[in-house]
A = this chain, B = another copy of it.
């Protein structure tokens, strides 16, 4: 968690709030977020860079894909997570974004199981679960 001012500045933009809203549920890859949020790729990339620079997210690369997750640790991070979990349902686009992401993930899961990338799917299911502590969330739709 970086500088407090930088953190709060990161929250002061609707696009970045939408990104955070998605990540409150679970890790997501940039390409999924791009489609679900309907953002231009460069724009999304820039906002992610900002959030990364502020220490709010971290990422990992799997092949060509970057998976992002929230990085809320320490006292301030925990307080921020709680705060976000309380306020985000009050943020206009939050629910629709969440539904779209859920639908997208289910559709994508189906495609993966049926068509392609089974090796990557195995990779995700068997070996990466332990790394995704940031996925835990108590926000309920």
Contacts and interface: CB of A to CB of B under 8 A. Distances in A.
Count copies of this chain in the complex.
2
Given A76-B90, A86-B79, A8 B4 contact: no
Contacts of A29: none
A4 B76 contact: no
A80 B8 CA distance: 12
A133 to B, nearest CB: 21
A12 B17 contact: no
Given A79-B83, A82-B83, A90 B12 contact: no
Nearest to A88: B4
Interface string A58-75: 000000000000000001
Contacts of A79: 82-83, 86-87
